[in-house]
Amino acid sequence: MIMLLEVDKLKIPLPFSGAIIKPILDRYTGFDRDTINILWKALRTATAAFPVWVLTEVQEAGGSHIKITILKNSFYTLAKNKKMCYTEEN
Amino acid sequence: MNTMGNRIAEFRKKKGLTQDQLAEQLGISAQAVSKWETDASCPDIGLIPQLSKILGISLDELFGVEPEQSVVLVPEAERKKPDQLLFKVVIDSADGDKIRVNLPFILIKALSGHSDKLPIQMGNLNLSELIDIDQLVAMAEAGLLGQLVEVDSTDGDHIRVFVE
Protein backbone atom coordinates (compact mmCIF):
# COMPACT_ATOMS: atom_id res chain seq x y z
CA MET A 1 0.00 0.00 0.00
CA ILE A 2 1.11 3.53 -0.73
CA MET A 3 0.28 6.87 0.77
CA LEU A 4 0.48 9.46 -1.97
CA LEU A 5 1.04 12.94 -0.63
CA GLU A 6 0.33 15.72 -3.10
CA VAL A 7 1.21 19.31 -2.41
CA ASP A 8 0.26 21.44 -5.39
CA LYS A 9 2.15 19.87 -8.31
CA LEU A 10 4.47 17.83 -6.11
CA LYS A 11 3.65 14.14 -5.66
CA ILE A 12 5.38 12.16 -2.93
CA PRO A 13 4.63 8.44 -2.70
CA LEU A 14 5.31 6.99 0.74
CA PRO A 15 5.09 3.42 1.93
CA PHE A 16 1.94 2.76 3.94
CA SER A 17 2.69 -0.28 6.03
CA GLY A 18 2.18 -1.54 9.55
CA ALA A 19 5.85 -0.99 10.30
CA ILE A 20 5.34 2.73 9.74
CA ILE A 21 1.74 3.37 10.73
CA LYS A 22 1.62 1.40 13.98
CA PRO A 23 4.51 3.33 15.62
CA ILE A 24 2.87 6.60 14.54
CA LEU A 25 -0.42 5.56 16.16
CA ASP A 26 1.52 4.47 19.23
CA ARG A 27 3.33 7.80 19.42
CA TYR A 28 0.42 10.16 18.75
CA THR A 29 -2.59 8.43 20.30
CA GLY A 30 -3.31 6.93 23.68
CA PHE A 31 -4.22 3.56 22.18
CA ASP A 32 -2.88 0.32 23.58
CA ARG A 33 -1.23 -2.27 21.35
CA ASP A 34 -4.42 -4.32 20.83
CA THR A 35 -6.39 -1.26 19.75
CA ILE A 36 -3.61 -0.24 17.37
CA ASN A 37 -3.68 -3.71 15.84
CA ILE A 38 -7.47 -3.44 15.42
CA LEU A 39 -7.07 -0.02 13.82
CA TRP A 40 -4.37 -1.23 11.46
CA LYS A 41 -6.56 -4.17 10.45
CA ALA A 42 -9.43 -1.73 9.84
CA LEU A 43 -7.13 0.44 7.73
CA ARG A 44 -6.15 -2.54 5.60
CA THR A 45 -9.78 -3.60 5.19
CA ALA A 46 -10.73 -0.04 4.28
CA THR A 47 -8.02 0.04 1.65
CA ALA A 48 -9.34 -3.21 0.17
CA ALA A 49 -12.83 -1.70 -0.06
CA PHE A 50 -11.56 1.62 -1.43
CA PRO A 51 -8.50 0.85 -3.58
CA VAL A 52 -8.02 4.56 -4.31
CA TRP A 53 -9.01 6.20 -1.08
CA VAL A 54 -8.76 9.99 -0.98
CA LEU A 55 -8.24 10.32 2.74
CA THR A 56 -8.11 14.08 2.79
CA GLU A 57 -8.05 17.02 0.45
CA VAL A 58 -7.40 20.58 1.51
CA GLN A 59 -7.83 23.62 -0.65
CA GLU A 60 -6.34 26.50 1.25
CA ALA A 61 -7.72 29.98 0.80
CA GLY A 62 -4.20 31.04 -0.11
CA GLY A 63 -4.28 28.72 -3.11
CA SER A 64 -2.29 25.71 -1.90
CA HIS A 65 -3.77 22.31 -2.58
CA ILE A 66 -2.93 19.31 -0.42
CA LYS A 67 -4.21 15.81 -0.98
CA ILE A 68 -3.49 12.51 0.72
CA THR A 69 -4.53 9.35 -1.06
CA ILE A 70 -4.11 5.79 0.15
CA LEU A 71 -3.54 3.42 -2.72
CA LYS A 72 -3.99 -0.31 -2.45
CA ASN A 73 -1.38 -0.78 -5.17
CA SER A 74 2.24 -1.52 -4.43
CA PHE A 75 5.13 0.57 -5.70
CA TYR A 76 5.89 -2.26 -8.10
CA THR A 77 2.36 -2.22 -9.58
CA LEU A 78 2.40 1.54 -9.86
CA ALA A 79 5.74 1.54 -11.62
CA LYS A 80 4.67 -1.32 -13.87
CA ASN A 81 1.45 0.40 -14.91
CA LYS A 82 3.03 3.85 -14.84
CA LYS A 83 0.01 4.96 -12.82
CA MET A 84 1.58 7.63 -10.70
CA CYS A 85 -0.95 9.92 -12.32
CA TYR A 86 -4.43 8.78 -11.49
CA THR A 87 -7.96 9.98 -11.06
CA GLU A 88 -10.34 9.30 -8.22
CA GLU A 89 -12.32 6.99 -10.51
CA ASN A 90 -9.51 4.56 -11.31
CA MET B 1 -36.97 34.49 -7.21
CA ASN B 2 -37.91 31.92 -9.81
CA THR B 3 -36.02 32.88 -12.95
CA MET B 4 -32.29 32.74 -13.48
CA GLY B 5 -32.27 36.50 -14.03
CA ASN B 6 -33.96 37.10 -10.69
CA ARG B 7 -31.48 34.83 -8.95
CA ILE B 8 -28.47 36.56 -10.52
CA ALA B 9 -29.84 39.97 -9.50
CA GLU B 10 -30.63 38.80 -5.98
CA PHE B 11 -27.21 37.20 -5.37
CA ARG B 12 -25.41 40.14 -7.01
CA LYS B 13 -27.12 42.57 -4.64
CA LYS B 14 -26.41 40.32 -1.67
CA LYS B 15 -22.75 40.42 -2.69
CA GLY B 16 -22.95 44.22 -2.84
CA LEU B 17 -22.00 44.41 -6.51
CA THR B 18 -23.39 46.71 -9.17
CA GLN B 19 -24.11 45.41 -12.65
CA ASP B 20 -21.06 47.34 -13.86
CA GLN B 21 -18.81 45.75 -11.24
CA LEU B 22 -20.06 42.24 -12.00
CA ALA B 23 -19.64 42.85 -15.72
CA GLU B 24 -16.12 44.14 -15.22
CA GLN B 25 -15.11 41.06 -13.22
CA LEU B 26 -16.51 38.82 -15.92
CA GLY B 27 -14.99 40.84 -18.74
CA ILE B 28 -18.33 41.56 -20.39
CA SER B 29 -20.56 44.58 -20.84
CA ALA B 30 -22.97 45.85 -18.21
CA GLN B 31 -25.71 45.60 -20.80
CA ALA B 32 -25.15 41.84 -20.97
CA VAL B 33 -25.65 41.57 -17.20
CA SER B 34 -28.74 43.71 -17.47
CA LYS B 35 -30.13 41.38 -20.13
CA TRP B 36 -29.50 38.35 -17.92
CA GLU B 37 -31.31 39.94 -15.02
CA THR B 38 -34.33 40.79 -17.13
CA ASP B 39 -34.26 37.28 -18.64
CA ALA B 40 -33.74 38.74 -22.09
CA SER B 41 -30.74 36.41 -22.40
CA CYS B 42 -28.79 33.84 -20.41
CA PRO B 43 -25.11 33.77 -19.40
CA ASP B 44 -22.79 31.94 -21.77
CA ILE B 45 -22.07 28.49 -20.38
CA GLY B 46 -18.35 29.29 -20.27
CA LEU B 47 -19.04 32.12 -17.83
CA ILE B 48 -21.17 30.07 -15.42
CA PRO B 49 -18.34 28.76 -13.18
CA GLN B 50 -16.78 32.22 -12.89
CA LEU B 51 -20.17 33.82 -12.28
CA SER B 52 -20.99 31.39 -9.44
CA LYS B 53 -17.54 32.00 -7.96
CA ILE B 54 -17.91 35.78 -8.04
CA LEU B 55 -21.40 35.58 -6.53
CA GLY B 56 -20.12 33.12 -3.91
CA ILE B 57 -22.81 30.54 -4.62
CA SER B 58 -22.92 26.95 -5.83
CA LEU B 59 -24.03 26.00 -9.32
CA ASP B 60 -27.15 24.45 -7.78
CA GLU B 61 -28.02 27.77 -6.20
CA LEU B 62 -27.38 29.61 -9.45
CA PHE B 63 -29.63 27.24 -11.37
CA GLY B 64 -32.22 27.16 -8.59
CA VAL B 65 -31.89 23.43 -7.93
CA GLU B 66 -33.56 22.52 -4.67
CA PRO B 67 -31.28 20.58 -2.32
CA GLU B 68 -32.06 16.89 -2.06
CA GLN B 69 -33.47 15.50 1.14
CA SER B 70 -30.54 15.66 3.49
CA VAL B 71 -31.10 12.38 5.33
CA VAL B 72 -32.72 9.17 4.16
CA LEU B 73 -33.50 5.96 6.00
CA VAL B 74 -32.51 3.04 3.80
CA PRO B 75 -34.57 -0.14 4.21
CA GLU B 76 -32.55 -3.01 5.64
CA ALA B 77 -32.76 -5.05 2.43
CA GLU B 78 -31.32 -2.21 0.36
CA ARG B 79 -28.49 -1.15 2.63
CA LYS B 80 -24.88 -1.23 1.54
CA LYS B 81 -22.45 -3.53 3.29
CA PRO B 82 -20.81 -1.68 6.20
CA ASP B 83 -17.38 -1.85 4.55
CA GLN B 84 -18.78 0.06 1.55
CA LEU B 85 -19.99 2.98 3.65
CA LEU B 86 -17.97 6.17 3.72
CA PHE B 87 -18.07 9.06 6.17
CA LYS B 88 -17.33 12.35 4.45
CA VAL B 89 -16.32 15.24 6.67
CA VAL B 90 -16.64 18.58 4.92
CA ILE B 91 -15.21 21.66 6.59
CA ASP B 92 -15.47 25.15 5.17
CA SER B 93 -13.42 27.25 7.51
CA ALA B 94 -13.99 30.89 8.26
CA ASP B 95 -10.56 31.55 6.75
CA GLY B 96 -11.74 30.22 3.41
CA ASP B 97 -9.98 26.87 3.61
CA LYS B 98 -11.90 23.89 2.28
CA ILE B 99 -11.12 20.58 3.97
CA ARG B 100 -12.52 17.23 2.89
CA VAL B 101 -11.87 14.01 4.80
CA ASN B 102 -13.17 10.61 3.74
CA LEU B 103 -13.22 7.94 6.42
CA PRO B 104 -14.49 4.43 5.69
CA PHE B 105 -17.16 3.24 8.11
CA ILE B 106 -15.06 0.28 9.13
CA LEU B 107 -12.36 2.64 10.35
CA ILE B 108 -14.83 4.81 12.25
CA LYS B 109 -16.30 1.66 13.77
CA ALA B 110 -12.84 0.62 14.96
CA LEU B 111 -12.42 4.07 16.51
CA SER B 112 -15.78 4.12 18.28
CA GLY B 113 -15.32 3.86 21.98
CA HIS B 114 -11.78 5.21 21.66
CA SER B 115 -12.47 8.54 20.00
CA ASP B 116 -11.55 10.43 23.16
CA LYS B 117 -8.00 9.12 22.82
CA LEU B 118 -7.64 10.17 19.21
CA PRO B 119 -7.30 13.89 18.71
CA ILE B 120 -9.00 14.43 15.35
CA GLN B 121 -7.59 17.88 14.92
CA MET B 122 -8.41 20.01 11.90
CA GLY B 123 -7.08 23.51 12.17
CA ASN B 124 -8.31 24.86 15.49
CA LEU B 125 -11.06 22.28 15.71
CA ASN B 126 -10.98 19.06 17.68
CA LEU B 127 -13.68 17.09 15.92
CA SER B 128 -13.84 14.41 18.58
CA GLU B 129 -15.03 17.13 20.99
CA LEU B 130 -17.59 18.50 18.56
CA ILE B 131 -18.98 15.27 17.14
CA ASP B 132 -20.13 12.13 18.94
CA ILE B 133 -18.53 9.43 16.82
CA ASP B 134 -20.28 6.60 18.64
CA GLN B 135 -23.61 8.23 17.88
CA LEU B 136 -22.67 8.57 14.20
CA VAL B 137 -21.81 4.88 14.02
CA ALA B 138 -25.17 3.99 15.59
CA MET B 139 -27.00 6.19 13.07
CA ALA B 140 -25.20 4.66 10.10
CA GLU B 141 -25.87 1.17 11.42
CA ALA B 142 -29.55 2.05 11.71
CA GLY B 143 -29.55 2.76 7.95
CA LEU B 144 -29.40 6.54 7.94
CA LEU B 145 -27.59 8.00 4.95
CA GLY B 146 -26.93 11.58 4.00
CA GLN B 147 -25.96 14.59 6.02
CA LEU B 148 -25.98 13.46 9.63
CA VAL B 149 -24.17 16.38 11.21
CA GLU B 150 -24.04 20.10 10.55
CA VAL B 151 -22.16 22.38 12.91
CA ASP B 152 -21.55 26.09 12.72
CA SER B 153 -18.76 26.85 15.15
CA THR B 154 -18.40 30.15 16.96
CA ASP B 155 -15.24 30.78 14.93
CA GLY B 156 -17.32 30.79 11.77
CA ASP B 157 -16.31 27.31 10.58
CA HIS B 158 -18.98 25.23 8.91
CA ILE B 159 -18.73 21.47 9.43
CA ARG B 160 -20.85 18.78 7.86
CA VAL B 161 -20.63 15.01 8.09
CA PHE B 162 -22.22 12.86 5.41
CA VAL B 163 -22.59 9.10 5.25
CA GLU B 164 -22.67 7.64 1.75
| Three-state secondary structure string covering B48-111 | HHHHHHHHCCCHHHHHCCCCCCCEEECCHHHCCCHHHCEEEEEEECCCCCEEEEEEEHHHHHHH
A interface test, pick of B80, B81, B97, B116 with most A CB neighbours within 10 Å: B97
Task: Using alpha carbons, list the distances in angstroms from residue B152 to B90, B134, B155.
Answer: 12, 20, 8
Domain range for A73: 2-81
Categorise residue A40: left if φ over 0, alpha if ψ from -120 to 50, beta otherwise. alpha
Taking only the tens place, the pLDDT of each residue in B14-35 is 788 899 999 999 999 999 999 9
Average pLDDT over every residue of B135-160: 84
What is the location of CATH 1.10.260.40 in chain B? 4-63
Number of domains making up chain A: 1
Q: Which residues of chain A have pLDDT under 70?
A: 78-90
Superfamily of domain B4-63: lambda repressor-like DNA-binding domains (1.10.260.40)
pLDDT over 50 (residue B150) = yes
List of chain A residues whose C-beta atoms are within 8 Å of the C-beta of residue B157: none
**What percentage of residues in chain B have a pLDDT greater than 70?**
85
Amino acid A4: pLDDT: 87
pLDDT grade for B118, boundaries at 50, 70 and 90:
low
What ipTM goes with this model? Answer: 0.76
- Mean pLDDT across chain B, nearest whole number? 82
pLDDT at B123 over 70: no
> Is 80 exceeded by the pLDDT of residue B1?
no
- In this predicted structure, the answer to whether residue B111 has a pLDDT above a threshold of 80 is no
Residue A61 lies in a domain: yes
Is the residue at A6 inside a domain?
yes
Interface of B with A in 61-120 (CB under 8 A): 83-84, 86, 93, 95-104, 106-107, 109-111, 114, 117-119
Region B139-143 average pLDDT: 85
- CB–CB contacts below 8 A, A to B: 61
